[in-house]
Amino acid sequence: GAGVSQTPSNKVTEKGKYVELRCDPISGHTALYWYRQSLGQGPEFLIYFQGTGAADDSGLPNDRFFAVRPEGSVSTLKIQRTERGDSAVYLCASSLDISYEQYFGPGTRLTVT
Amino acid sequence: AQKVTQAQTEISVVEKEDVTLDCVYETRDTTYYLFWYKQPPSGELVFLIRRNSFDEQNEISGRYSWNFQKSTSSFNFTITASQVVDSAVYFCALSLYNFNKFYFGSGTKLNVKP
């Protein structure tokens, strides 16, 4: 079946602009995670959704970052007033429920110029 | 606070050699889970294994084996008779009992040369 998909695969934006990154989890997966991965580093947790609600958003770096999952499936990570330091690969992962293995998407490479 | 350390940044071996990737973790919680993921050059992370803190039995899956030792807070990963297809970045990760948050190490890049 289809895996986790993320769009766009690449996004180049100018400093100060607003961006939206989309994640389509595997159908039926209730848990969804967003991570940020900088070059040469491991994934850094951003936010976790269980269903429609954000169960843990302690990893969001500041209030410029926001994520939603209104119907409990697709999720959108929103970044306002982008900064060059936001450049990274943003990964999404989903799992059937908590305690099940996570399936990762291919990521969105965000470049802020 | 939780932390995962993978001290080996990069390892190079010749095909058929055995190789061990080290992982050391820190947590004060008694219930936690440890994971290994593989990130091949294509980029997508692939789940390899999960262990809980109450199960210190070593695990073997084909050429892969894992050694979990609570006494040294380590969860090491050994590949026996490495192959070129094993070349990837390997990440160790930790989650607490509620799986709300995952803590990843910085990864070890494994290069297996023919």
Return the structure tokens found at B79.
Answer: 């590949």
Q: Using an 8 Å Cβ cutoff, are A46 and A96 in contact?
A: no
Give the CA angle between residues B6, B29, B45 to the nearest 5°: 40
Which among B91, B99, B101 has the least Cβ separation from residue A59? B101
Check residues B73 and B98 and name the one with the higher pLDDT: B73
**Average confidence score pLDDT of chain B:** 95
A104 contacts in chain B (CB < 8 Å): 37, 44-46
pLDDT at A1: 58
Q: What is the mean pLDDT of residues A42-66?
A: 95
Return the structure tokens found at B27.
Answer: 């947590």
pLDDT digits (tens, 9 = 90+) for B19-40: 999 999 999 999 999 999 999 9
- Separation CA A32–CA A51 (nearest Å): 8
Give the CA angle between residues B87, B92, B98 to the nearest 5°: 145
Q: Using an 8 Å Cβ cutoff, are A105 and A3 in contact?
A: yes
| Residues forming beta bridges with residue B5, ordered by sequence position | B24
Which among A44, A98, A105 has the least Cβ separation from residue B99? A98
pLDDT at A80 over 90: yes
- Separation CA B110–CA B41 (nearest Å): 11
A102 contacts in chain B (CB < 8 Å): 47, 102
Q: How confident is the model at residue B100 (pLDDT cuts 50, 70, 90)?
A: confident
Phi and psi dihedrals of A86, rounded to 5? -80, -10
* B26-39: b (≥16 Cβ within 10 Å) or e: ebeeeebbbbbbbb
pLDDT digits (tens, 9 = 90+) for A16-25: 999 999 999 9
B98 contacts in chain A (CB < 8 Å): 98
Q: How many other β-carbons are positioned within 10 Å of the β-carbon of residue A73? A: 18
Give the CA angle between residues B17, B82, B88 to the nearest 5°: 125
Return the structure tokens found at B14.
Answer: 């010749």
